[in-house]
Amino acid sequence: MKNLKNSKLFSISILCLLQIIIKANAQLSPSYRKLHSAVLVEKKLYIFGGFNSPNLTPENEVNYNKNPDDRFFYLDVSISFDTSNLPWRSVSNNVDNLPLGSLSSVATGGVAASIGGVNNDMIFFFNNERDNATKSDPPVHSYNSPNNVWNTQIFSGNNPIGRNQMRIVTDYNGKVYLLTGFDFTIQGVTRSSGLFVCDTINPDCVIKDASPFSRLGYGATLLPNGMIIYMGGGDRNYVPIRDGFRLIYLYDPANVEWIPKVTTGKKLPDDVGFTTVLGLNGDRIILYGGNNNNDDNNLYVLNITNYEWFVPKVRGKGPQYKRGEHCANVIGKYMVITFGSNGVLDAKYKEDGESDVLLLDISDDSEYVWTTSFDPTPLKNNSTPSNSLSLKPATNNISIIVGLTIGLILFICILSGIIIFYIRYKNSNKAIPTPGNVVKDGDIITIPSDYELSHGKYRI
Ligand SMILES: *[C@@H]1O[C@H](CO)[C@@H](O)[C@H](O)[C@H]1NC(C)=O
Ligand SMILES: *[C@@H]1O[C@H](CO)[C@@H](O)[C@H](O)[C@H]1NC(C)=O
Ligand SMILES: *[C@@H]1O[C@H](CO)[C@@H](O)[C@H](O)[C@H]1NC(C)=O
């Protein structure tokens, strides 16, 4: 009898310890996804939405929304990490704050999200117009990263439309560009193309003609001179546009002008769902991935001085499978690729144990490097690409504080375990067990409070 009692108390103490250890080390492990949004705000790469099931139904959506921390979270890019152990973090109070019901569901086309605001530290979420549930909401919602606050945003002018198949660009003046490639009706007028230009600082939207370039799943890259290069992509049925990389378009916001450019060099297969980023010197566009799996090559570069395509020199162990419907952000010296699928529905990379995040070191234009380790050291301003050996960040203070805190909690936990154990042991001869007070297996899930321990719930 005494042994049973003691062992139960012992297991409660052990569970207490385990729970604290698990809680302290809680690493988010998000499910894989495609057609999500990835927005870098300072040292946080926020991920929103996306989906991973072959059949996108409202029921799936309901299931996704049961887990807000898997809908909106971030990668901590302030620290070093290896892609085998990613520092995913949940947003504090996310379960209470994330307005999932006011953001268009992926089943209706999702949202488009990009950075903006006076301090360039807010994320703007543009709803689609088809989601009946969000139609009565303002079409734009914002998340203020430093203050962890969600807000609705009223824009004057045209109501913008976002979808997850649009590549959204924010320029150097806080203006957001949303290029459509589908039919839609705004303010009573049905259109089959258009470019929404929305000012996130003085909230206002206008729709511009985009007739030469109406697409989905295209590449959109902001150039240092403020122009945007659009290329590739598919029609409204997501069928790749023929020669979409041969004939590309520059959009000049200052003159509201579309400028066609015929490229030369390497011929790229037509594709949708790839990503493009500006090289660190601002003189080239780096293209990764896509949905077209008939092409073994993953990376192409467009020289934007002479508009010539070429295959860059690359070393390191690259991804085994080509990814599409992923996101790409430039963070420090890396092109950071998040999630995506292999082929339209598959996630072979995941089954193969490949990371959700791919890192391409693009600091040396003569040779890019696939790597698994992320170094947060900021790039040096002038020329010489920062050498990862030079400034390894010292063990970070936060981890020391976290470590000490965990240690202290563990110590208190062990100590109270021993004390409780000792008291129980001393009292054990007097206690008369009653059937109603037996601990059931299911009861041991939560950490018992001292009150519960001493007032019967766990009394044996
Ligand atoms: C949304 O509203 C439109 C027009 O009122 C209707 O045709 C459509 O069936 C609705 N969709 C859903 C999913 O309820
Ligand atoms: C890009 O084109 C310019 C102009 O022709 C040329 O000077 C430069 O070397 C090219 N860059 C690369 C990487 O090919
Ligand atoms: C970075 O370089 C630019 C131009 O070379 C210069 O104007 C700027 O002051 C530099 N910034 C820093 C922080 O050194």
pLDDT in tens, 340-397: 998 766 788 988 899 999 999 999 999 999 999 999 998 876 554 444 333 333 444 5
The beta strand positions in 25-109, using DSSP E, are 37-41, 44-48, 72-76, 81-82, 88-90
Distance CA 224, CA 218 (A): 20
At 106, is the pLDDT very low, low, confident or very high (cuts 50, 70, 90)?
Answer: very high
Among 61-70, 72-81, 328-337, 424-433, the minimum mean pLDDT is found in 424-433
CATH architecture observed for domain 27-392: 6 Propeller (2.120)
At 60, is the pLDDT very low, low, confident or very high (cuts 50, 70, 90)?
Answer: confident
Question: Would the CB of 303 count as within 6 Å of ligand 2?
Answer: yes
Share of the chain above pLDDT 70, in %: 78
The rounded radius of gyration (Å) of the Cα atoms in the chain is 26
Residue 433 clears pLDDT 50, i.e. is over it? no
pLDDT tens per residue across span 149-205: 999 999 999 999 999 999 999 999 999 999 999 999 887 889 999 999 999 999 999
CA dihedral over 169, 170, 173, 179, signed as positive or negative:
positive
For residue 297, which amino acid is it?
N
pTM comes to 0.79
Residue 69 clears pLDDT 60, i.e. is over it? yes
Mean pLDDT of the chain: 84
Identify the pLDDT of residue 13.
Answer: 61
Residues 321 and 349 sit within 8 Å (Cβ to Cβ): yes
HSE of 26, CA atoms in CB hemisphere, 13 A: 8
For residue 376, which of 87, 72, 49 has the smallest C-alpha distance? 87
For residue 25, which amino acid is it?
N
Element (H, E) at 19: helix 2-24
pLDDT tens per residue across span 268-282: 999 999 999 999 999
Token pair recorded at residue 2: 């005494």
Among 117-121, 132-136, 223-227, the minimum mean pLDDT is found in 132-136
Q: What residues contact 23, with CB distance under 8 A and at least 6 apart?
A: none
The 8-class DSSP code of residue 97 comes to: H
Distance CA 202, CA 306 (A): 37
Q: Which of 299, 305, 311, 366 to mutate to test the pocket of ligand 2 (most atoms within 8 A of CB)?
A: 305
Q: How far is the CA of 329 from the centre of ligand 2 (A)?
A: 24
For residue 282, which amino acid is it?
G
Which residue, judged by its Cα, is nearest atom 7 of ligand 2?
305
Q: Could you give the residue range(s) of every CATH 2.120.10.80 domain in the chain?
A: 27-392
Q: Which of 261, 300, 304, 306 to mutate to test the pocket of ligand 2 (most atoms within 8 A of CB)?
A: 306
Which ligand sits nearest to residue 311's alpha carbon?
Answer: 2
Q: What residues contact 138, with CB distance under 8 A and at least 6 apart?
A: 152, 153, 154
Q: How large is the angle between the packed helices 2-24 and 397-427, nearest 10 degrees?
A: 170
Using CB atoms within 10 Å of the CB of residue 100, give its burial: 0 to 12 exposed, 13 to 18 middle, 19+ buried.
middle
pLDDT tens per residue across span 290-306: 998 888 899 999 999 99
Residues 184 and 196 sit within 8 Å (Cβ to Cβ): no
Token pair recorded at residue 336: 């950071």
Name, of 20-24, 72-76, 352-356, 445-449, the range with top average pLDDT. 72-76
Question: Would the CB of 306 count as within 6 Å of ligand 2?
Answer: yes
Q: Is 426 helix (H, G, I), strand (E, B) or coil?
A: helix
Share of the chain above pLDDT 90, in %: 67
**H helices then E strands: how many in the chain?**
6, 31
**Phi–psi pair at 73, nearest 5 degrees:** -160, 180
